[in-house]
């Protein structure tokens, strides 16, 4: 996989904290630690987006509408499909 160089500035004290956390967590480099942190943040953002898209379904269930087992199964399938679509 080809990589690109990304440059950004950080306060020295914060960078020292990043380095200490990376070392304490067993990462071999600052880059590895930051890359993993960014991946985790991206996953969080994807999950939040899926939850936003699923909010209408949750609201539908709260309104006292009687839901059949078939509807619940369909909703679960839809939730799973949406989550997998955004996680990949």
Say if 6 falls within a structural domain: no
- In the block, tokens 């989550």 appear at 83
Say if 3 falls within a structural domain: no
**What is the rounded distance in angstroms from the CA atom of residue 11 to the CA atom of residue 34?**
15
Say if 7 falls within a structural domain: no
Say if 49 falls within a structural domain: yes
Say if 4 falls within a structural domain: no
Q: What's the pLDDT score for residue 65?
A: 61
Q: Among 41, 62, 59, which residue's Cα sits nearest to residue 51? A: 59
Q: What's the pLDDT score for residue 49?
A: 83
Which tens digit of pLDDT belongs to each residue from 18-41?
Answer: 999 999 999 999 999 999 999 999
Count of domains observed in the chain: 1
Q: Among 1, 84, 11, which residue's Cα sits nearest to residue 35? A: 1
Residue 83 makes CB contacts below 8 A (sequence gap 6+) with 47, 50
* Domain membership of residue 75 as a residue range: 12-87
Q: What's the pLDDT score for residue 59?
A: 63
Q: What's the pLDDT score for residue 56?
A: 74
Which tens digit of pLDDT belongs to each residue from 41-88?
Answer: 999 998 888 878 777 776 665 655 666 778 778 877 887 787 777 665
Say if 22 falls within a structural domain: yes
Say if 33 falls within a structural domain: yes
Which tens digit of pLDDT belongs to each residue from 78-88?
Answer: 877 877 776 65
Q: What is the percent of the chain where pLDDT is above 90?
A: 45
Say if 82 falls within a structural domain: yes
Write phi, then psi, for 66 (nearest 5 degrees).
Answer: -75, 130
């Amino acid at each position: 996989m080809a990589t690109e160089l990304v440059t950004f500035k950080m306060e020295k004290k914060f960078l020292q904290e990043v380095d200490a956390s990376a070392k304490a967590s067993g990462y071999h480099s600052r880059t590895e630690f930051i890359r993993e942190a960014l991946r985790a943040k991206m996953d969080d953002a994807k999950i939040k987006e899926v939850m936003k898209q699923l909010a209408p379904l949750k609201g539908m269930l709260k309104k006292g509408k009687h839901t059949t087992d078939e509807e619940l199964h369909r909703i679960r399938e839809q939730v799973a499909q949406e989550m997998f679509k955004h996680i990949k």
